[in-house]
Amino acid sequence: MAQYSILIADDDDLQRKVQKLVLGKVAAGMNAELEIEEAEDSITARNCISERKYNLVILDNEFKDGTKTGHLPGIALLQLMRKEGPNIASPVIFLSADSYETLKSMVEKFGATYCQKARVDADEMIALYTKLLESS
């Protein structure tokens, strides 16, 4: 049985639960074991991506930890990932409620897949996650 490690970095509890449900279907379809780690704020997410390699990173843009020292938006975390550390080439799904084109083009520039949260379909996400994990 294949094993994959995944980071879900999102401050929204419901969004993390939804992603875990989708990933459960991915695991069943792939006959794989998924080790899912969660980061509820950008500081934890930054520590995770700098310390450990993941087969897939699911990254939010807006974290509600803006008052904490060391806070970064998701786009800055993505840029850091691509510069150094174990996740330079890891697949990234960038989930955001923001729909402006500048953000989308920046995400794509740094080699991630942009998905607008309001338009995400579970079946599409299952297919996308499966494809990215199989190629990791």
Give the count of domains, the chain: 1
pLDDT at 99: 74
Query: If you count them, how many residues does the chain have?
Result: 136
Domain that holds residue 100: 2-135
For 4-29, write each residue's pLDDT tens digit. 999 999 999 999 999 999 999 999 99
Give me the CATH number covering residue 13.
Answer: 3.40.50.2300
> What tokens were used for 48?
């995770």
For 86-105, write each residue's pLDDT tens digit. 999 999 999 888 778 898 99
pLDDT at 68 over 80: no
DSSP string, 22-68: HHHHHHHHHTEEEEEEEESSHHHHHHHHHH---SEEEEES--S-TTS
Whether the Cβ atoms of residue 32 and residue 68 lie closer than 8 Å to each other: no
d(CA 17, CA 127) in angstroms, rounded, equals: 18
pLDDT at 27: 97
